Amino acid sequence: MGAGAFSVLLTSGGRRVALVREFQAALRALGVPGRVLVADLRRNAAAFHAADAGVLVPRVTSPEYVPYLLELCEREGVRMVVPLIDTELHLLAPHREAFAAKGITLVVSSPATTELSLDKRTTRDFFQAHGFDTPAVLDAAAILADPDARYPYFLKPADGSCSVGATRIDDAESLAFHARHTANAMVQEFVRGEEYTLDVLADLTGKVRCVVPRLRIETRAGEVSKGMTVKDPLLMEAGRRVVEALPGAMGCMTVQLFLTAERAVKFIEINPRFGGGFPLAAAAGAKYPEWLIAWALGREPEVAMDAWTDGLVMLRYDDAVFVKKSEIG
CA atoms of 201 and 208, how far apart (whole Å):
6
The domain of 154 spans: 136-189
pLDDT category of residue 2 using cuts at 50, 70 and 90: low
Q: CA dist 221 to 16, 161, 229, 275, 315, Å?
A: 15, 10, 21, 13, 15
User: Are 267 and 172 contained in the same domain?
Assistant: no
pLDDT digits (tens, 9 = 90+) for 27-39: 999 999 999 999 9
| Average pLDDT of the segment spanning 44-63 | 96
203, 300: one domain: yes
3-state secondary structure of 217: strand
Is residue 50 very low, low, confident or very high in pLDDT (cuts 50, 70, 90)? very high
Whether residues 175 and 218 share a domain: the answer is: no
Same domain, 196 and 304: yes
- pLDDT over threshold 60, residue 57: yes
Q: For 78-114, how does the pLDDT look when each residue is reduced to its tens digit (9 = 90+)?
A: 999 999 999 899 999 999 999 999 999 999 999 999 9
Counted residue by residue, the chain has a size of 329
Residues 183 and 212 in one domain: no
pLDDT number for residue 5: 86
Query: What is the helix (H) or strand (E) element at residue 202, kind and residue range?
Result: strand 194-202
pLDDT at 162: 66
Q: What is the mean pLDDT of residues 174-183?
A: 93
How far, CA to CA in Å, does 231 sit from each of 59, 66, 210, 310, 326? 40, 39, 11, 5, 47
Residues ≥6 apart with Cβ < 8 Å to 36: 7, 8, 10, 20, 23, 24, 27, 51, 52
pLDDT per residue as tens digits for the range 155-170 = 999 887 766 778 999 9
